[in-house]
Amino acid sequence: MKRLLVTGGCGFIGSNFIRLVMKERPGYSVVNLDKLSYSGNPENLRDLAQNTRYTFVKGDICDKKLVAKVMSRVDAVVHFAAETHVDRSIAGADEFLKTNILGTASLLEASRACGIKRFVHMSTDEVYGSLAKGKADEEHRLEPNSPYSASKAGGDLLVRSFRVTHKHPAMIIRCTNNYGPYQFPEKVIPLFVTNLLEGKTVPLYGQGRNRRDWIFVEDACRAVLLVLEKGNPGEIYNVGSDHERSNLQLTRAILKELGRGEDMIRRVADRPGHDFRYALNFNKLRKLGFKPRWSFEEGLRTTVGWYVANEWWWLPLKKDKFTVK
């Protein structure tokens, strides 16, 4: 297994994963299939443009002919391509259904036809729904509460069906909230950091009591690589870090890193159907050998520092791709 197809490789997690593979697996080559939607940015991997082990293909995972063509050139697949922003799914679900369900089906069909040996499907902890207490293990029932998480749950069920029906060598990763360099600035951490760097307030939903576990993107990518290489086909693996914080705690940590006060917090109406809490039991992955390397404090400091040093990357995105109110 040395030739990888990575879908959505110009996105946040995908680009960090490709960079990790290229750095730590010199025997691997990567084909990156990305349609370059609003959050897919070729600048994320411009340092690899001349690398002979890296190939970029612009295209949609719903394009079955193109998918079949690129699939014939690889041994394994890591499927990151997805519509992911909950607020956008609330405004309109069509693109989420198309990419996250039909696109996943396209990849599953092509990989089955080509005899792909390993297939990793990236999902989310949000498919488990909101937890009042405790942590969800891989057997927890699916209770998605947004169009985004429902579309991801639909993709997960397709993967399961191909495993049962076709003995497809697919594995599912359900990951907690990622953060780090190259994250599109509509997501909460880069949005808050870049707003503060621009002298703007940060929009905090409600009272900021909603809780999330946060994992630095490099740790998440190492988990994906571990599952790709050592995971058991047909299994689901939760990926967490045990760095649970309320949104208010997260906001205060960002303010502290940038030397700003709580007067920069602007309370906004809560998101419809806003899940209160996500938390994962990832003991199965621990048994496979996974241990997060980054503390929350170190990861956040590194992330804030990256956005401070790379205004060239994020400022055009905020001007061109979306409007922050």
What's the confidence (pLDDT) of residue 293? Answer: 97
What's the confidence (pLDDT) of residue 325? Answer: 39
Q: Which of 125, 186, 213, 244 is catalytic?
A: 125
What's the per-residue H, E or C state across the chain?
Answer: CCEEEEECCCCHHHHHHHHHHHHHCCCCEEEEEECCCCCCCHHHHHHHCCCCCEEEEECCCCCHHHHHHHHCCCCEEEECCCCCCHHHHHHCCHHHHHHHHHHHHHHHHHHHHHCCCEEEEEEEHHHHCCCCCCCECCCCCCCCCCHHHHHHHHHHHHHHHHHHHHCCCEEEEEECEEECCCCCCCCHHHHHHHHHHCCCCEEEECCCCCEEEEEEHHHHHHHHHHHHHHCCCCCEEEECCCCEEEHHHHHHHHHHHCCCCHHHEEEECCCCCCCCECCECCHHHHHHCCCCCCCHHHHHHHHHHHHHHCHHHHHHHHHHCCCCC
Residue 20, Cβ neighbours under 10 Å: how many?
17
What's the confidence (pLDDT) of residue 319? Answer: 83
Domain ranges of the chain: 3-178+216-239, 185-212+245-275+295-320
CATH number for the 185-212+245-275+295-320 domain, one of 3.20.20.70, 3.40.50.300, 3.90.25.10, 3.20.20.370?
Answer: 3.90.25.10
Q: Hey, what are 58's tokens?
A: 């612009």
Residue 271, Cβ neighbours under 10 Å: how many?
14
What's the confidence (pLDDT) of residue 92? Answer: 94
Q: Is 148 marked active-site? A: yes
Q: Is 298 marked active-site? A: no
Q: How far apart are CA 95 and CA 163, in angstroms?
A: 25
Q: Is 262 marked active-site? A: no
Q: How far apart are CA 63 and CA 42, in angstroms?
A: 20
- Please say whether the structural domain 3-178+216-239 has been given the CATH code 3.40.50.720: yes
Q: Do domains 3-178+216-239 and 185-212+245-275+295-320 have the same CATH topology?
A: no
Judge contact between 19 and 45, C-beta under 8 A: yes
Q: Which of 126, 213, 244, 275 is catalytic?
A: 126
Sheet of strand 211-216: strand arrangement: 177-179, 211-216, 244-246
| % pLDDT > 90, the chain | 94
Q: Which of 54, 128, 148, 278 is catalytic?
A: 148
Strands 202-205 and 170-175: unpaired
**In tens digits, what is the pLDDT along the chain, a chain of 325 residues?**
699 999 999 999 999 999 999 999 999 999 999 999 988 999 999 999 899 999 999 999 999 999 999 999 999 999 999 999 898 999 999 999 999 999 999 999 999 999 999 999 999 999 999 999 999 999 999 999 999 999 999 999 999 999 999 999 999 999 999 999 999 999 999 999 999 999 999 999 999 999 999 999 999 999 999 999 999 999 999 999 999 999 999 999 999 999 999 999 999 999 898 999 999 999 999 999 999 999 999 999 999 999 999 999 999 999 865 544 3
Q: Give residue-wise pLDDT tens across range 131-141.
A: 999 999 999 99
Q: Give residue-wise pLDDT tens across range 50-91.
A: 999 999 999 999 999 999 999 999 999 999 999 998 989 999
